[in-house]
Amino acid sequence: MGHKRSTSMPISRSYTLHVHEIDLQNASVSKSAEGPGDAIFETKAGVKRLFHSLRARHIDVSSMAFERFKQTLRRAQTQTERQLLKRFLLQPMQISNAELKQILEIRNVFEGDKVPAMTNVDRAHRFYIRSWVFTPVQLLLVVQLLRTKGFGSARLDEWEFQCCITVFGTLTVRYIGMIKGRRDFVQRSQLDISEKSPNSLFGAFRDIMKERFPLVHDELEIHEFPHLAFSMLGSNEIVGNQLVADDTERLLIQFFGERSLLNVQSGGQYIDYLPKITDEKLFRGFNSRYFTEFSSSCEQFPGTAWGKLSDDFDEIERHARTHSELYHFHHDYFNVMKNEARPYQYKGYTVMVYLGEELSRKHLKAGHTFFQGSASVSVFVRGLINRLSKIEREKFNSGNQPPDLQKTYTFFNVLPLPDFPNVHRALQILKNYIQCTQPIIIVTYGHRSHAAIASGFQKLKTQRCGLPPMDGTLIRISNRMDGVVGKGQDIVHISLSHPGKYQYGNRDPASLRNFYIQKQLVYLVAHCTMDAIDHHLSTPSLSSRRDLTAKVLNHVCVILKGLGTFALKTTDHGIDVSLPENEPSQKGCGSKFIRNSFSTVLQMVIKQRVGVINQNLEEDTTVVPNSGRSSSKRKADAFEKDLTCPIFGYGTFDCIFSFGRAHGSQNSPERISQLEKLWAENIPELHLAIPNNEEMHERWVKELSSLTQGQSYFLKVVDGLPQSEYLKALALVCKSTGRHKRRYDGIGEKTQMRSGLWVSRKDIQARRVELSPRVKTKDLQGFPVEIKPNSEIKIKWLTSGGQEQTLTVESPRCAMPQNGTQTRALSFTEHGIDIVDASGFALRPCEPWEKEPSKATLPRWGFKSKNGQLLQELWGAVRSELGLSIPPDRIRGLPPRINGVGLVPSNSATETPQQNKPPRVQDANFLLYNFLNERFPSGGVFRTISRAKDKNSTEDLQEFVKFCRRPQNVNHPYCAKWLDMLDRPRPFIAILAPNIRAYRSCQTQKTYPYMPGSGCHLTETVFHVGPRGKR
């Protein structure tokens, strides 16, 4: 049963034998000539091999996950399918998603909103994969840019290697993920892509894609593994549900190859670590009986002394209840906190207390102790302590009754509440607690709790204070004599890194191993402390705490020196214990080409290809500093700024337009008539790609009829030619025979082109005489434009009244040319301005989660800015001169705007930024606040699904969009932001909950209305909004 699974449950008859079995399998896999997946040709053998491969990498995966995983593997019946499976297991990045469907049961989530019905779908775990498809050159550039940002890992090495060995075809970068319940795969992806920090690998990867390869970014694919979904059993708080889901996610990541994926971790919400048998033997060698003896002999801290802290605990609870808008807590949490902090004593002594940094909101809301909670950190720490307890019981045959581990784990946070504002008071409460309980050992998690003890409760900072805090390969056991507990009351202080860092950071086995051994040493010190207490009580001459702590350190030194495994160094404050070095372990599987040796020739080819890319990267990213602006240096300044000019001077555009510009709309009779005349004229320059013969007539007309009005036929003909042929054709029609002939003769294959028709002035030694021409208004339709590397487009035109105008607009990244010969042109449509390619295809921005792109590259509704108003004038003038219709409504400019307080982010756990109550007119939530007061004065259910999908819907989300579009609201500073997030096929619904909660009580619920006739359920997020004035 999934809900009974535990991180500490042994697979073999004893925990030690279970770990020993893992080590044997590790040795077996390590000796194999091939990787774990190389021999997989049949499903059963493949799953078994993958199972052992995971366990050999210190990842303990349940058999249940493997049984369910078999269902998603298609049976490889034909030789082609078996070969495809083998190729995937060797080189997963080279397998496309279309090929992947032949060996795996996956479903494209973009094929529709309908999700196959399943039992208890509202309480299910579901798994998906995101995919981005690159050419090898594109991905190699992404890798190089990631490295310039400071990222480096075996993952990037594998991507780079795949780029070098893949001459043809594409490479797919994938990301494995999991969602709970019937959450929307697309909205989850939208949330991740929108809010991942640019400092993370995912965020940097996203930003580079958007900037350099927007089409790759926009063509995101998301596939679901429908057969891997499973319903949760019992309560949502049961850890076993999540553990089974974690196992499945880890299994998928291993199956796809960790290095091929964008996933940084090996998968799972909880931290899974299976130690080696050699590391388990360390604790067996300590001969510790701490858990058994302490739990059987301990007594709770006396109530009379404990009552001295009642005022402090009451103050903490009072603060939380007074600021209930900041804290969502379980009704019984504060009793739980007091019980967890109240220690159990051994013969009248408090042996050990753990200090955390800050209470997590998950513990506060669930009402759990740190040790018994369902948070990832709690499960991780609890699993390690369970392991140590099991080893101790097995060594001494302590019976079947396990000790009560909660009694051995006394815990208190330096900050008693999340974001507790009064740090000085928090330190005073901590000091009162320590001086009341008088522990012999204080174990601190993280820099902040370390600083509090090391400074004598004077500081609470993240930087190092006093003793060096922590080192992954070292544990410092300090004998503090500065009166932390009280005058003359010494303590043993042990600093550990915070286990929470493994939740989101890298979970490499070496770091987890070091933390595990540090925990072993902590309990060795605790065991020695109990021995010292026994000796202390039987020896009246040892009467001080200083004698007691000295005895503890001496006992620890004797045991560690006797083992000979640890290196000890005595210091003025205690002892430094260096952890034993990790034995070489099997590295994660990369491609077969990486594991096997390859020829010197292949190495040389790869080195040359990487060198070329690096050289191009350096040329692309070099920043040339600006020179002075004096008149004597203007010409040089033009070079330094890398200004451009038409490749063959003023005559460039006249020459290419001399072969015809498209008349009329696409495929119109006027266009066809024009093309028939040009065909009859048999102009050689228009038949460079398609010859003038009867068999090709229809194809020639069809290709040129797709151009937008005003575009150049000649640019369409030469589009797609290699740069050498493109330049040759362009030079034949454009090269001047005048005084600049020598300059233009310098243009060759190595000349860097810009948007097909521009070149750096520095390359041809050109000056201001070569500036781009100023175009008449009516000629701007279909006229080529240059898109700068910073996405800027400069439009220069001459109005009908003879006035010169210049405007700079920003192009979306999707319209950026992918190489130097691709051209772009302007097209003025009824919805705004399109940027089109040489074939007349409009390049419009489209986020991956949108069902359809924008109606224009630069839509009319965006003409609100100062430049946008001038662009609107240009747009209207062009369409007027072309005789095209102009909508009567004018997009009004934005008033002088003074922004108020912005929105609370969708992933914010607190009300940040702090909202005005009630909101002011310029605040982002002014619109939402007034809408709630109008539509839900007494509270109600805020529905988000449209009536087209559920006829019973009240369409509250759609009404809020209409509310924002009202004349009195449309010019609000944040109206455009609200509409951008909500007025689209897939609204960003997650933004509503935290902002509603700033003014009303709000509970989020997932509902699944049935869609008649489809046999499927839809997903809807519903908000239960409280009455006005109640939060």
Domain boundaries, the chain: 2-136+170-181+219-260, 287-531, 633-662+707-881, 926-1025
Determine which of 76-80, 380-384, 648-652 has the lowest per-residue pLDDT on average.
76-80
Question: Which helix (H) or strand (E) covers residue 805, if one does?
Answer: strand 804-810
Question: With 70 as the cut, is the pLDDT of residue 614 above it?
Answer: no
In this structure, the number of other CB atoms found within 10 A of the CB of residue 320 comes to 20
With pLDDT > 90 as the criterion, what percentage of the chain qualifies?
28
pLDDT at 6: 36
- pLDDT (average), residues 117-121: 46
Beta bridge partners, 567, equal: 578
Bridge pairing between strands 940-942 and 824-829 = unpaired
Q: What is the pLDDT of residues 155-193, one digit of tens each?
A: 898 998 898 888 778 999 999 988 876 566 777 777 777
Helix (H, G, I), strand (E, B) or coil at 534: helix
In what side-by-side order are the strands of the sheet with 753-754? Answer: 644-646, 758-760, 753-754
Q: What is the CATH number of domain 287-531?
A: 3.40.470.10
Q: Which of 652, 653, 704 is nearest to 683 (CA)?
A: 704
Confidence of residue 32 (pLDDT cuts 50, 70, 90): very low
Q: Which of 155, 134, 154, 141 is nearest to 615 (CA)?
A: 141
Beta strands of 879-994 (E only): which ranges? Answer: 940-942
Helix (H, G, I), strand (E, B) or coil at 1018: coil
Integer Cα distance of 548 and 491 in angstroms: 9
With pLDDT > 70 as the criterion, what percentage of the chain qualifies?
77
Question: Which helix (H) or strand (E) covers residue 729, if one does?
Answer: helix 723-734
pTM of the model: 0.59
Q: Using alpha carbons only, give the angle 971, 974, 976 rounded to the nearest 5 degrees.
A: 70
Confidence of residue 449 (pLDDT cuts 50, 70, 90): confident
pLDDT at 731: 86
Q: What is the pLDDT of residues 965-999, one digit of tens each?
A: 998 998 888 998 898 889 877 788 989 999 999 99
Give the 3-state DSSP-derived string for 46-99, with helices as H, strands as E and coil as C: HHHHHHHHHHHCCCCCCHHHHHHHHCCECCCCCHHHHHHHHHHHHCHHHCCHHH
Q: Residues near 902 by Cβ (< 8 Å), separated by ≥ 6?
A: 913, 924, 974
Higher pLDDT residue, 47 or 719?
A: 719
Higher pLDDT residue, 424 or 14?
A: 424
- pLDDT (average), residues 693-703: 92
Question: With 50 as the cut, is the pLDDT of residue 842 above it?
Answer: yes
- pLDDT (average), residues 26-51: 48
Integer Cα distance of 890 and 882 in angstroms: 19
Confidence of residue 76 (pLDDT cuts 50, 70, 90): low
Which of 512-516, 582-586, 766-770, 828-832 ranks highest by mean pLDDT? Answer: 828-832
Higher pLDDT residue, 979 or 266?
A: 979
pLDDT at 290: 92
Question: With 60 as the cut, is the pLDDT of residue 833 above it?
Answer: yes
Determine which of 546-550, 618-622, 767-771 has the lowest per-residue pLDDT on average.
618-622
Confidence of residue 45 (pLDDT cuts 50, 70, 90): low
Question: With 70 as the cut, is the pLDDT of residue 588 above it?
Answer: no
Residue pair 219/232 in contact (Cβ under 8 Å)? The answer is no
Mean pLDDT of the chain: 79
Q: Residues near 199 by Cβ (< 8 Å), separated by ≥ 6?
A: none
Confidence of residue 542 (pLDDT cuts 50, 70, 90): low
- pLDDT (average), residues 407-432: 88
Give me Rg for the CA atoms of the chain: 35
Helices (H), 622-688: 634-640, 651-657, 669-681
pLDDT at 439: 93
Integer Cα distance of 393 and 628 in angstroms: 79
Helix (H, G, I), strand (E, B) or coil at 761: helix
pLDDT at 855: 86
- pLDDT (average), residues 859-864: 82
Q: Residues near 382 by Cβ (< 8 Å), separated by ≥ 6?
A: 7, 8, 371, 372, 405
Higher pLDDT residue, 51 or 21?
A: 51
Integer Cα distance of 206 and 221 in angstroms: 14
- pLDDT (average), residues 404-412: 91
pLDDT at 346: 94
Residue pair 631/649 in contact (Cβ under 8 Å)? The answer is no
Confidence of residue 114 (pLDDT cuts 50, 70, 90): very low
Q: Is the dihedral of CA 807, 809, 815, 819 positive or negative?
A: positive
Higher pLDDT residue, 38 or 87?
A: 87
pLDDT at 783: 95
Q: Which of 130, 147, 128, 129 is nearest to 139 (CA)?
A: 147
Q: What is the pLDDT of residues 315-372, one digit of tens each?
A: 998 888 887 766 777 778 889 889 999 999 999 999 999 998 877 777 777 788 888 8
